[in-house]
Amino acid sequence: MRQLDRLLMTSAIAVVSAVALSSAATHAADKPAIEVITHAGAGGGTDVNSRMMMLRSRRTLKQDMVVVNKRGGGGAAAMNYFMSRPADGNTILTFTVGHAITMGKGKTKLKLEDMAPISRGTNDPQILMVNCKTSPYKTPEDFVAGMKKGDKLKFGGTQIGTIDHITVFLWAKRLGVPMPTYIPFKGGGELATQLVAGSVDVGTLNLSEAAAPVEAGDICPLVILGVAGMGPIPKAKTAKSLGVDLVLSTTRGFVTHAGVDAARRAELEKGIQKAMKHSMYQAYLANSGLDATSPQTSGPWGEQIKAMVSEFGPALKEMGLVK
């Protein structure tokens, strides 16, 4: 489990209580409740993110919202349930990087053309990090040069077939070098600990997972696989600034059915965007180690979904994880 999810789980009970109060205060009797479908159990990171979006969206949309948890199949159960619902604008799927991987594996009937993006909710760029004290790489440029030269490195990430595993594969492919040794761990917290201990040379982490050892000077972030630099780690550089065209993130956002009327899609987007600008949602982002750039409108969010799905399918096949 990602460290961000652990942090979010601690506030799940308070969030659920706040949602219940908000629902009672804002329910519109003349409208059906919007179903917000997640693949996570109650209190998981995606579940909590959905509920945090809903807190103010109930008010901005003047419509009640309920969470529907459909667990199983790496998001396949949630996506297949979403496909069974009518395209009336009263169903929202919380779409994550995990869903994109499941689509890339062909484990769901859901296709890109079945979805209409609404808004992105969170975005946590993948970051390549090293042990500050033992790594020979002191700058992002040193690291890229070392890999291109053929340095044999052990990369760590979460389990096989996850965004971390795909990140390492695509990073090596972009550099034109063979896939490095990849060592999977149960979660980001364990990975950060093992990077400090020297079990791996490079860790594929989110900033929220390694905040403490980064602040302590034990782990040094080098390459951000995001569109921009990050304030807390000014010495790290984006892959694109280093000449490597690769952008990957642990991300969550919201989609509805492609068949929903354009006016209704615009109404949902406007209401959710307004809700995520509220101080409550912004505080949630800050407490999760994220910033105000996480929420994005349907345009860039839709492009990110397309990029993930189109990239992951071929990558998983090349990695031998999909037949």
Instruction: Tell me the average pLDDT across 291-314.
Output: 96
- Is 3-124+251-318 a domain of CATH 3.40.190.150? yes
> pLDDT by residue (tens digit) across 200-259?
999 999 998 898 999 999 999 999 999 999 989 999 999 999 999 999 999 999 999 999
Q: Would you call 40 exposed, middle or buried from its count of C-beta atoms within 10 A (0-12, 13-18, 19+)?
A: buried
User: pLDDT band at residue 10, thresholds of 50, 70 and 90?
Assistant: very low
Residue 23 pLDDT exceeds 90: no
DSSP state of 293: T
- The helix (H) or strand (E) run that includes residue 35 is strand 34-38
User: pLDDT band at residue 5, thresholds of 50, 70 and 90?
Assistant: very low
Residue type, 88: D
User: pLDDT band at residue 101, thresholds of 50, 70 and 90?
Assistant: very high
The conformational region for residue 92 under phi > 0 = left, psi -120 to 50 = alpha, else beta, is: beta
Distance separating alpha carbons of residues 138 and 130, to the nearest angstrom? 9
Paired strand residues for 257: 115
Q: Do 3-124+251-318 and 127-242 show the same overall fold?
A: yes
Q: Residue 173's pLDDT is what?
A: 97
> pLDDT by residue (tens digit) across 155-212?
999 999 999 999 999 999 999 999 999 999 999 999 999 999 999 999 999 998 898 9
Percent of the chain whose pLDDT exceeds 70: 91
Q: Residue 288's pLDDT is what?
A: 85
The topology under which CATH files domain 127-242 is D-Maltodextrin-Binding Protein; domain 2 (3.40.190)
Distance separating alpha carbons of residues 95 and 101, to the nearest angstrom? 11
Q: What order of strands is seen across the sheet that includes strand 65-69?
A: 65-69, 34-38, 91-96, 249-257, 115-125
User: pLDDT band at residue 29, thresholds of 50, 70 and 90?
Assistant: low
Q: Residue 7's pLDDT is what?
A: 46
Instruction: Tell me the average pLDDT across 45-59.
Output: 95
Q: Where are the domains of the chain?
A: 3-124+251-318, 127-242
On average, the pLDDT of the chain sits at 91
Kind of pairing, strands 127-131 and 202-205? antiparallel
